[in-house]
Amino acid sequence: MALGIDLGSARAPCDLAARSAVRLLPAAVVVAAAAPQVPSAVSLVVNVRPAGPRALLAELASLGDVQALYDEARRRQEAGLLPGGVEVVPAARTVLFDGLDDVAAFAAQLRAWAPRPSARRAGSRAEIPVVYDGEDLAFVADCWGVRTDEVGDAHTSLLHEVAFIGFSPGFAYLTGLPDAWRVPRLERPRPAVPAGAVGLADEFTGIYPRRSPGGWRLIGRCEVAMWDPARVPPSLLSPGDVVRFVAVRR
Amino acid sequence: MRGSLLVVRSGALTTVQDEGRRGVAHLGVPRAGALDLPAMRLANRLVGNELGAAVLETTLDGVDLVLDADRHVAVTGAPAPVTVAARPVAFGLAVLARAGELVEVGRADAGVRSYVAVSGGIDVPAVLGSRSTDILAGLGPEPLRRGASLPLGDTVGRVPAVDFVPYSAPPAVLHLRCVLGPRDDELTAASLELLAVASWTVSPDSNRIGLRLEGPKLERARWQELASEGVVDGSIQVPPDGQPVLFLADHPTTGGYPVVAVVPEPDIWICAQARPGTTVHLHPETARSLAG
């Protein structure tokens, strides 16, 4: 059922002229580059949009700001400074706050929040073994200016972080790709992508929790259950978790 | 006193529902829960349950079941004929069903979803704080199948003495208020006007995820891509085909198409009873200013 979930959309194919070949960066460099640049006493919220009478969508300038605001919201929630019933849903450039009694009052409060930059987020760590044999490996290698057999090395050299969960239950959007490694989605999404497929889209890496349509560029597959209704919580990953991929030879 | 419920006829789609899951949207888990929450709570109140006890939610053609213990049963929501041991009994009131008697909830006379509460509640294990079946995320018990058995909880409250509960049949034409935003600026001014003045028709593709509305095509003011963002219950989302989708309880927690308005509670509850072909009028209001 495609109810406006981002199944992928028409985009230009990878424009090699616009992308110089990228060298593999050591993970430490990438992490430092990806750390949120947060001024310490200025509101991160660029704009606030109403989402019905009980919710608002806070717009932010970058994914780093989204993560900083989300971490601050969780910190406040744990400290009892946010009403317990409020849902906080981070996404690529927004954080949704749902279940508010007084949206206008909360909007004013939110603008006064000054999230502190945190070098490391509070999530847990996961290691995910991947066989790098995806259908779009050659395309991604072209985009990155590396050989097909180097895509796995490049991908495993990065430290990834769960920005948010969306698209389908347990589908984690992982950041960690340097800007120059962004990959366009398929122009026409595949009608069925198998569970466990590892794909790239834009600045994100994702792992399909279950068989579904999908427009991400597939680079490999893993056997880890990203979503298991029998597990608590069913989602293997939560926003803020740090993920390292490990190449498995096949 | 514990017991169980045996499904004799499952109906088109009968699921276990309660008030749904809260606080897990950041994991991609929808709220789920009864689509017509007031009807679910009324059914529970009638049989002496806590308001949020798990009940059965039927879809158009009811459900038949047998209990293995004497229990009170109440059916609310979409009005439907109810019989116990082949005797017609009142809709919308608690009736006693003895162990082994066949309880039949028939095809709805109007509306879509009837709620069947049994005293003690349906006592399947809670997953993430709810017993609800979530079709999108695959959480909670499977939709009912013939021959399935569901555990019942201990009866707790007394069944209140009630002779008559007024209820109104689902309206033939839906008038839904909605609050503009968060992305009403993604539509052309003409399309925003259309949202308010057009007659929309509920499509047969509607389900627990959303009501699909058919009508004039809504046009985007621009074609820049939106990044995925969180969406709330009642969101009216406009996909590329320009036909709005009104998100109900099992909707995905994020979406990449613009949400141009949000239908608030309580108007969202009557969407649960909108049959395909029902005419819908939307009445957009502007949100209170959030500037500050």
Q: What structural domains does chain A harbor?
A: 19-34+122-247 (2.40.100.10), 45-119 (3.30.1360.40)
Percentage of residues in chain A with pLDDT exceeding 70? 80
Give this prediction's pTM.
0.85
Evaluate whether ipTM surpasses 0.85: yes
Q: Strand, helix or coil at A217? A: strand
For chain B, give every domain's residue range.
3-152, 173-291
Report chain B's C-alpha Rg in angstroms.
20
For residue B97, give how far its alpha carbon lies from the nearest alpha carbon of chain A (Å): 34
B176 touches chain A (CB under 8 A): no
Average pLDDT over chain A, rounded to an integer:
82
Contact criterion met (CB below 8 Å) for B266 and B193: no
- Which chain B residues in 110-139 lie under 8 Å from chain A, judged by CB atoms? 127-128, 136-139
What pLDDT score was predicted for residue B1? 59
Contact criterion met (CB below 8 Å) for B239 and B257: yes
What pLDDT score was predicted for residue B86? 97
Interchain contact, A4 vs B137, CB within 8 Å? no
> Exposed (0-12), middle (13-18) or buried (19+): which is B291, by Cβ within 10 Å?
exposed
Which pLDDT tens digit goes with each residue over A36-93?
444 445 678 999 999 999 999 999 998 889 989 998 998 899 899 998 789 999 999 9
- Which chain B residues in 257-276 lie under 8 Å from chain A, judged by CB atoms? 257, 259, 262-264
Interchain contact, A229 vs B138, CB within 8 Å? yes
Interchain contact, B245 vs A50, CB within 8 Å? no
Query: Residues B141-162, buried b or exposed e (16+ Cβ, 10 A)?
Result: bebbeeeeebebbebeeebeee
CA closest to A231 among chain B residues: B127
Q: Is the pLDDT of residue A207 over 50?
A: yes
Which pLDDT tens digit goes with each residue over A10-24?
334 454 434 444 444
E-strand stretches of chain A: 47-50, 55-59, 87-90, 94-98, 125-130, 160-165, 172-175, 190-193, 197-201, 204-207, 212-214, 217-221, 242-247
Q: Give the residue, A191 or A93, on which the prediction is more confident.
A: A93
**Which among B22, B263, B264 has the least Cβ separation from residue A87?**
B22
**Which among B27, B264, B289 has the least Cβ separation from residue A170?**
B27
B287 touches chain A (CB under 8 A): yes
Q: Give the residue, A234 or A101, on which the prediction is more confident.
A: A101
Return the amino acid letter for A93. R
Contact criterion met (CB below 8 Å) for B237 and A2: no
Report chain A's C-alpha Rg in angstroms.
19
Q: Going residue by residue through chain B, which has 292 residues, state the pLDDT in tens, using 9 for 90 and above.
A: 579 999 999 999 999 999 999 989 998 899 999 999 999 999 999 999 999 999 999 999 999 999 999 999 999 999 999 999 999 999 999 999 999 999 999 999 999 999 999 999 999 999 999 999 998 888 899 999 999 999 999 988 888 888 778 877 889 899 999 999 999 999 999 999 999 999 999 999 999 999 999 999 999 998 777 888 999 999 999 988 899 999 999 998 998 889 999 999 999 999 999 999 999 999 999 876 554 4
Lowest mean pLDDT among A35-49, A172-186, A203-217, B135-149: A35-49
Q: What is the CATH number of domain B173-291?
A: 2.40.100.10
Interchain contact, B29 vs A234, CB within 8 Å? yes
**Which among A49, A95, A169 has the least Cβ separation from residue B27?**
A169
